[in-house]
Homo-oligomer: A and B are copies of this chain.
């Protein structure tokens, strides 16, 4: 059933259907095709770079002697001097056959990194390769303060302490578990949202993706995202959670360069005084399930809908989709990891196509 690229195998849908039939007929003879056995990904290029940041001088501290590697030779480390801080990491994958009108920039949420968009915690295909396979040039970043962007001394440079999350915290806060005290160390005792699409059996792997976060680096993060878009050029921006705020604010700062904004479960909005700047930026906002069962999300969703309304009142175009209202149920805050992530990605892909942003 393997389909050689560029031969007449019919549509992807057709192939999937015939594969199913074939599998049903021969299930005892061969292993069924997994997501990993999909068509090859052909890249015209891939790579990475850092953007943005600034230099900061620190002075008046004592020199240390550090043996970096046991058995190595001690080196003097003078902590006084100039530090490079607040840069951001960007990794890009450019498809051989491009079908996106603009590159797609993926901006993860708080306490996480670009890993958000990669393979799901239970090993299925994530949105990075979903959109890459659809022909989008994908730029996936680790924002200021985390992942491959690095982080800076606090409180000297970063102004607050970092926040570390227990294994229980995202379970109860990301609408995976059914509210406070839904988490238990024993997976069998966890109270999962009824009908949840989150791959709860791989929750431990999701927790491994978490990184410490600060609450005082928003301006630096926005500056780095602006540096990214200034470098990459006109782009479509896809944000999640914390980066909802960054996406709206960067689009307000660079309305000529943000050609569309897709906000997945935005935790915060842009500058209400600058909605006018967004009137020519097509915007899609997507919310998952269980919002009414959560203590914080009704207010956060209401803020997003009100912001959308104010953009529309200024002449802009915003589509707000509550997934349960279009028949897609069970989504947690981590929509891109949920078991129906391809279905939601397909909804976004369809929106991009209807907006004329594919080629």
Which residues of A does B touch, CB under 8 Å? 36, 38, 40-50, 53, 55, 64, 66-73, 75, 77-84, 87, 89, 91, 93, 96, 110-111, 113-115, 118-119, 123, 125-126, 129, 142, 147-148, 150-153, 163-169, 173, 185, 204-205, 207-213, 215, 218, 241-242, 244-245, 267-269, 296, 299-300, 303
Let me know if B68 and A213 touch, CB within 8 A.
Answer: yes
Question: When the two chains form their complex, are residues B205 and A49 in contact, meaning their CB atoms are under 8 A apart?
Answer: yes
- Closest B residue to A110 by CB, please name it: B68
Q: Are B212 and A69 in contact (CB under 8 A)?
A: no
Given A40-B43, A68-B267, decide whether A205 and B82 contact each other with a Cβ distance below 8 A. no
Contacts of A53 in B (CB 8 A): 208
| Cβ contact within 8 Å between A129 and B66 | no
In the complex, the answer to whether A82 meets B49 with C-beta atoms within 8 Å is no
Q: How far is the CA of A110 from the CA of B64 in the complex (A)?
A: 17
Nearest chain B CB to A75's CB is how many angstroms away? 6
CB of B152 within 8 A of CB of A142, answer no
| Residues from chain B with Cβ under 8 Å of A218 in the complex | 69-70
Name the 9 nearest CB pairs between A and B, nearest first.
A81-B166, A47-B119, A50-B208, A150-B211, A87-B208, A69-B268, A73-B296, A48-B118, A71-B268
Measured in the bound complex, the distance between the Cα atoms of B73 and A303 in whole Å is 10
What is the CB-to-nearest-CB distance from A103 to chain B, in angstroms, rounded to a whole number? 15
Measured CB to CB, the nearest residue on chain B to A125 is B47
10 contacts between A and B (CB under 8 A): A41-B42, A53-B208, A68-B213, A69-B242, A71-B245, A77-B163, A77-B165, A81-B166, A82-B168, A150-B212
Tell me the smallest distance from the CB of A207 to a CB of chain B, in Å: 5
Of B47, B68, B123, B166, which contacts A83 at CB under 8 A?
B166
